[in-house]
């Protein structure tokens, strides 16, 4: 199941001579959005959506403060505050179908109408406002002992996301067979959409991974970088960076310092490390509050994201899938929600097994729509950047003398040799 998607991606993507723009989907710190952004910076589809995004950002932060303690028990304390949102940026990339080029528009429409399940995982919208079609549940077995799924009912993802996490977990297990299994925590709900305590995690591309410790028992810790198995956690980060299409890894600065010091001590290239940790908006590894006991990892999903973008205008052709997952806001009522989303009170009640019209703020509703959604966010085409592999080590360079005189690092490498 895993191989097919990637094979297609490779086959389709390679011959496309696309004028490459620097980045298609960029991320911005939530705090920055709240403090400085304007509707135009968000480039949302209309100003209302832009302000909605802003509003969601700020109100969620307030709501999350109160729910942080609830989250602490079962979700590695991930309330996602301080997390990155995806920004809708039109990069001007050639909109040719780079990752789904095996499907013509007619093919796609026919399959969507007749056998949508045959399309595989579809990641709609954005990580912070999206949903998931044909999700796969993260394989529970972890038969090899490489991973364990903490909450199976919140471990729904795209095939690509699962493939990436499995690859990274297997790599750590290969390097460290005695390490306890990787703790695969919250990913997404089966249909995606919002769920407590996360802001993102909505379209099958965000995964929370618990730290490795010396034993399978997770210690109670505030400064978890002091008690974690730093070597195993570094191996995990390195596997994610080199073996998967990771978009961003969010983890507290204190943890980053520990990982980086360890990486330097085992001879990793300092320049490569700087590109991972110090790249500003291009950093793969970024700070986020309340991420001191787990990694929040977001992956590019070339296939599932591209399908999501192309399927979005076709949703109305399948009434069972033509729905929006909506989180109730202050001032909402069923009539208003129905009107805004081309739905009806009765349809919403039915879809949510409701008898009355009582709503509470934060409640998540499935809202069936009668026509094409004009308010659903549609991201621009995704372009997956090259993986950031470290330069080959001296040992890997066949023509380099065994005395290491041909090291690839810069002058800082000399300092490492002392350790």
What residues make contact with Zn ion under the rule CB under 5 A?
A: 78, 208, 296
In whole angstroms, what is the distance from residue 282 CA to residue 192 CA? 27
**Residues with Cβ within 8 Å of residue 112, at least 6 apart in sequence:** 119, 311, 314, 317, 318
Nearer to Zn ion, 168 or 323 (CB): 168
Nearer to Zn ion, 78 or 87 (CB): 78
The nearest distance, CB 198 to Zn ion, in angstroms, is: 6
The nearest distance, CB 76 to Zn ion, in angstroms, is: 8
CB atoms within 10 A of CB 352: 15
Nearer to Zn ion, 78 or 160 (CB): 78
In whole angstroms, what is the distance from residue 228 CA to residue 362 CA? 35
Q: Would you say the C-alpha torsion 49, 365, 248, 136 has a positive or negative sign?
A: negative
The number of CA neighbours under 13 Å toward the Cβ of 326 is: 29
The nearest distance, CB 30 to Zn ion, in angstroms, is: 13
Paired tokens of 187 = 């990913």
User: 215 vs 179, 180, 212, 219, 265, CA distance in Å?
Assistant: 7, 6, 8, 9, 23
The nearest distance, CB 222 to Zn ion, in angstroms, is: 19
Closest CA to 378 of 311, 304, 301, 300: 311
Beta bridge partners of 246: 299
Residues in the chain: 419
In whole angstroms, what is the distance from residue 256 CA to residue 233 CA? 10
Paired tokens of 156 = 């729904």
**309 backbone dihedrals φ, ψ, rounded to 5°:** -65, -40
Nearer to Zn ion, 238 or 296 (CB): 296
In whole angstroms, what is the distance from residue 104 CA to residue 78 CA? 40
Nearer to Zn ion, 171 or 208 (CB): 208
The nearest distance, CB 161 to Zn ion, in angstroms, is: 13
Nearer to Zn ion, 78 or 306 (CB): 78
The nearest distance, CB 78 to Zn ion, in angstroms, is: 4
Nearer to Zn ion, 98 or 291 (CB): 291
The nearest distance, CB 134 to Zn ion, in angstroms, is: 22
Q: In the bound complex, which residue of the shown chain has the CB atom lying closest to Zn ion? A: 296
Question: How large is the angle between the packed helices 105-114 and 302-311, nearest 10 degrees?
Answer: 80
The nearest distance, CB 209 to Zn ion, in angstroms, is: 9
In whole angstroms, what is the distance from residue 158 CA to residue 136 CA? 6
Nearer to Zn ion, 154 or 296 (CB): 296
């Amino acid at each position: 199941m895993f191989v097919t998607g990637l094979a297609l991606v490779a086959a389709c993507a390679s011959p496309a001579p696309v004028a490459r723009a620097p980045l298609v989907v960029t991320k911005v710190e939530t705090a920055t959005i709240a403090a400085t952004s304007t509707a135009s910076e968000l480039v949302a589809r209309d100003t209302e959506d832009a302000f909605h995004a802003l509003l969601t950002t700020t109100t969620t932060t307030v709501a999350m403060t109160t729910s942080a303690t609830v989250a602490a028990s079962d979700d590695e304390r991930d309330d996602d505050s301080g997390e990155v949102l995806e920004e809708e940026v039109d990069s001007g990339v050639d909109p040719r179908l780079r990752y789904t080029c095996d499907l013509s528009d007619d093919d796609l429409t026919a399959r969507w109408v007749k056998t949508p399940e045959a399309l595989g995982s579809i990641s709609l919208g954005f990580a912070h406002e999206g949903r998931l079609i044909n999700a796969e549940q993260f394989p529970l077995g972890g038969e090899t002992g490489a991973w364990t799924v903490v909450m199976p009912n919140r471990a729904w993802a795209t095939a690509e996301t699962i493939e990436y996490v499995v690859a990274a977990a297997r790599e750590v297990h290969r390097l460290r067979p005695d390490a306890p299994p990787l703790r695969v925590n919250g990913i997404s709900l089966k249909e995606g959409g919002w769920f407590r305590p996360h802001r993102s995690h909505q379209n099958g591309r965000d995964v929370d991974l618990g730290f490795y410790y010396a034993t399978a028992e997770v210690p109670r810790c505030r400064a978890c970088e002091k008690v974690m198995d730093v070597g195993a956690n570094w191996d995990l980060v390195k596997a994610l960076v080199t073996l998967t299409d990771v978009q961003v890894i969010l983890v507290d600065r204190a943890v980053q310092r520990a990982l980086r010091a360890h990486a330097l001590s085992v001879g990793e290239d300092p320049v490569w490390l700087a590109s991972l940790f110090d790249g500003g908006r291009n950093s793969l590894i970024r700070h986020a509050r309340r991420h001191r006991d787990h990694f929040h990892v977001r992956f590019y999903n070339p296939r599932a994201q591209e399908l999501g973008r192309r399927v979005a205008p076709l949703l109305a052709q399948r009434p069972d899938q033509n729905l929006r997952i909506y989180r109730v806001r202050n001032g909402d009522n069923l009539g208003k929600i129905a009107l805004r989303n081309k739905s009806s009170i009765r349809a919403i009640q039915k879809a949510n097994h409701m008898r009355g019209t009582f709503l509470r703020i934060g409640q998540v509703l499935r809202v069936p729509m009668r026509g094409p959604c004009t308010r659903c966010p549609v991201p621009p085409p995704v372009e997956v950047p090259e993986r950031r592999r470290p330069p080959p080590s001296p040992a890997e360079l066949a023509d380099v003398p065994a005395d290491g005189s041909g090291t690839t690092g810069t002058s800082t490498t000399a300092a490492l040799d002392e350790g």
